[in-house]
Homo-oligomer: A and B are copies of this chain.
Amino acid sequence: MDREVGVAQSSKREQLIQAALELFSLTGYSTVGVNAISEKAGVTKKTLYHHFKSKEELILAVLRYYDERSRNSFMRSVEEKAENSQERLLAVFDVVEEWFNSKNFSGCLFVSAMGEYPEEGASIRSVCQESKLMTQKYIQSLAENAGLQDARELSEQLMLLIEGSITMAQVNNSSLSAVRAKKAAKVLIQSSVSP
């Protein structure tokens, strides 16, 4: 009955998600058709609709898949880059810079999704909110472990710098914004250590 056991847990399903992810990153959501997605995945359209009951459901699956994978690799990279929490708080911006320089970068997938499907009060928006929230919580935990004052507020402000640098990197096709954000972050952190 349930074939999703063992090692190859989700062959076709994951192929579809990955294919869709690539296409959505390149040209957005509504401009990419289900035909193109199934074709790229090397799978029939019928199979696509066997795994996802609509295009919107596929989009949601893509966002959740991307969210989990990207944040995991983000945190791993941060922890590889620095030993203690204080340094990691700044290493965040180095990882962000690397992301900007990677060839797949084309802005934030969640923000793009919300721009194209703004009314989705329930699903798409909430996935996006959740993703940003978990990133903020992670940064907050770094700030707390570093013994900084008002870790919550500081982490929210650092989020603003991160999100701003994402936008500017996309607009100007440059990773310079990450360097600038790091410089600003240093100032904010410094003012948080000395009240």
Contact = CB atoms under 8 A, between A and B. Distances in A.
Interface of A: 26-28, 30-31, 106-108, 110-112, 114-119, 125, 128-129, 132, 153, 156-157, 159-168, 170-173, 177, 180-181, 183-184, 187-188, 190-191
A193 to B, nearest CB: 12
A184 B162 CA distance: 13
Given A160-B164, A161-B161, A187-B188, A107 B115 contact: yes
Chain multiplicity (copies): 2
Label chain A's interface by main secondary structure: helix
Contact of A153 (B30, B115, B180, B190): B180
Contact of A107 (B111, B129, B184, B190): B111
